[in-house]
Amino acid sequence: MPLIKQHISKSIEQDQRKRERDCTSLELQLSDPSSAARRWAARDLISCPEATGALVLQLQQEDDSSVREIILTTLTQLGDELAVASLVGYLRSEDVALRNEAIEAMKLLPDEVAPIMGKLLIDPDPDVRISAVNILESLRHRQVEEWLTKVIEEDPHVNVCATAVDLLGEVGTTSAQEALEKLKTRFPDEPYISFAADLALKRIRST
């Protein structure tokens, strides 16, 4: 019985994909009442570079998490200027899930995100700066240590620095030692900052 049910479900999804597969039709299908149809459309739009705008628009109103995940995946594959700018915009979203999904998506775009990382790390909103540091966690880029060092040297917000020093403890080298020592004097009344900085220094000196 379960096999029959699985076969029926698969057939339904396949039927929902039996529409025209040209880019215009796929964009229209993004607003289909069926979440399965929207998923197929979002997945297939990877072959339509001009579809970024439609995907961004749908993401702003999409309430199905599985569809949002596919849209974000497609946006990261397209990776154009509009896609990156939209992901940056989601870092300001009140929707925590969408904000976290945007962070994960941006981690997959090191070359595209790198040129704007400097601006993100000095954004007026400390939550955006924290999100930027979280993106650096998996951003394979040669400037990661440099960016993190600058954060702990200059950022006035203790939570931003705490997030940065945690990551610096994983990726930092001897180049970060002076900044880590100074960080403890910048926030003398914050025990966690001293603890995290000492932990990072210990790891660096033992490698």
Instruction: Tell me the CATH number at 81.
Output: 1.25.10.10
Please give the tally of structural domains in the chain: 2
Q: Which two tokens stand for residue 63?
A: 């309430």
- Kindly state whether residue 115 falls inside one of the protein's structural domains: yes
Whole-number Å distance between alpha carbons of 14 and 36: 9
Q: Contact, 186 vs 165, CB < 8 A?
A: no
Which among 153, 160, 159 is positioned nearest to 185, based on CA atoms?
A: 153
Give tens-digit pLDDT for 113-136. Answer: 888 999 999 999 999 999 999 999
88 and 122, same domain (yes or no): no
40 and 115, same domain (yes or no): no
20 and 93, same domain (yes or no): yes
119 and 55, same domain (yes or no): no
69 and 152, same domain (yes or no): no
194 and 122, same domain (yes or no): yes
97 and 50, same domain (yes or no): yes
89 and 117, same domain (yes or no): no
Mean pLDDT over all residues of the chain?
89
Give tens-digit pLDDT for 91-118. Answer: 998 888 889 999 998 988 888 888 899 9
55 and 117, same domain (yes or no): no
57 and 82, same domain (yes or no): yes
Give tens-digit pLDDT for 140-194. Answer: 788 999 999 999 999 999 999 999 999 999 999 999 999 999 999 999 999 999 9
Domain coverage including residue 38: 13-106
* Cα-based torsion angle of the residue sequence 116, 125, 134, 102 in order, rounded to the nearest 10 degrees: -70
